[in-house]
């Protein structure tokens, strides 16, 4: 089955990366909204920003609500992957959406793992999966380890379908990971404090 190609030429070369960046940016509020909805369903008051959705009172945090964001990413990626591989023609924009959903977590997992190696704890970055693990009373990297496999499998399936050999696969996956990291920094350290200065 063929992947639907985007327009050729200079614009066509950059359009997939532009789509990826757009989807990466849009997934941030979607991810946080999943936390928000879960906490609200549990009756916990909280405020949401582009990069956070958790109660100010740490004692009200719940493991399932902290995992809601990563589950949103996994659900989006899984449904997208099922749709992508089920059609007669594989839509490139769907592939970029899937890659944005999985790389948002895989980049974080790489950072968490690096921080854990340096500090001895996965909690040093204060991210969803290690916080959920602490709340559930299990080792801090438990949920990172459990979710990394499905995210990696989906990522490899999409990357292998889009590019034919290991060099373009590696270059495109790493390039998108760097874009995701830059968008994460932009959202977390620039846009979020600017849009929500009191949070």
Residues 6 or more apart whose CB falls under 8 angstroms from that of 160 comprise 169
Residues forming beta bridges with residue 48, ordered by sequence position: 53
Measured CA distances, 22 to 44, 95, 173, 176 (Å): 31, 13, 16, 12
User: Could you report the per-residue pLDDT of 21-44, keeping only the tens digit for each?
Assistant: 999 999 999 999 999 999 999 999
The confidence band for 19, taking pLDDT boundaries of 50, 70 and 90, is very high
Alpha-carbon distances of 11 from 15, 89, 97, 117, 177, rounded to whole Å? 6, 22, 19, 41, 21
| pTM given for the model | 0.89
Q: Inform me whether the pLDDT recorded for 69 exceeds 70.
A: yes
Q: What is the pLDDT of residue 4?
A: 55
Range of the domain at 27: 10-195
* pLDDT attached to residue 8: 45
**Residue 177 pLDDT more than 50?**
yes
Position 184 scores a pLDDT of 93
Structure confidence at residue 143 (pLDDT) = 96
Average pLDDT, stretch 144-166?
Answer: 96
Q: So what's the pLDDT on residue 2?
A: 52
Instruction: Establish if 4 belongs to a structural domain.
Output: no
Work out how many domains the chain is built from and give that number: 1
In this predicted structure, what is the pLDDT of residue 35?
Answer: 97
Confidence of residue 12 (pLDDT cuts 50, 70, 90): low
pLDDT at 196 over 90: no
pLDDT digits 0-9 by tens, 105-127: 999 999 999 988 888 766 667 78
Tell me the pLDDT band of 7, cut-offs 50, 70 and 90.
Answer: very low
Angle made by CA atoms 106, 143, 162, in degrees to the nearest 5: 30
Q: Is residue 107 within 8 Å of 181, Cβ to Cβ?
A: yes
């Amino acid at each position: 089955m063929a992947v639907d190609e985007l327009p050729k030429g200079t614009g066509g070369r950059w359009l997939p990366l532009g789509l990826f960046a757009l989807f990466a940016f849009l997934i941030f509020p979607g991810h946080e909204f999943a936390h928000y909805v879960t906490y609200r369903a549990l009756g916990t008051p909280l405020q949401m920003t582009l990069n956070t959705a958790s109660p100010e009172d740490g004692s009200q945090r719940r493991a399932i609500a902290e995992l809601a964001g990563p589950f949103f990413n996994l659900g989006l990626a899984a449904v997208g992957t099922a749709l992508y591989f089920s059609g007669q023609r594989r839509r490139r924009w769907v592939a970029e959406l899937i890659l944005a959903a999985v790389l948002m977590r895989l980049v974080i997992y790489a950072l968490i793992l690096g921080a854990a190696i340096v500090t001895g704890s996965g909690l040093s970055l204060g991210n969803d999966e290690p916080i959920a693990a602490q709340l559930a009373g299990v080792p801090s990297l438990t949920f990172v380890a459990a979710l990394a496999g499905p995210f990696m499998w989906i990522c490899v399936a999409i990357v292998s379908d889009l590019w034919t050999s290991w060099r373009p696969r590696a270059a495109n996956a790493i390039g998108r990971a760097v874009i995701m990291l830059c968008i994460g920094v932009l959202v977390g350290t620039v846009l979020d404090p600017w849009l929500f200065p009191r949070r």
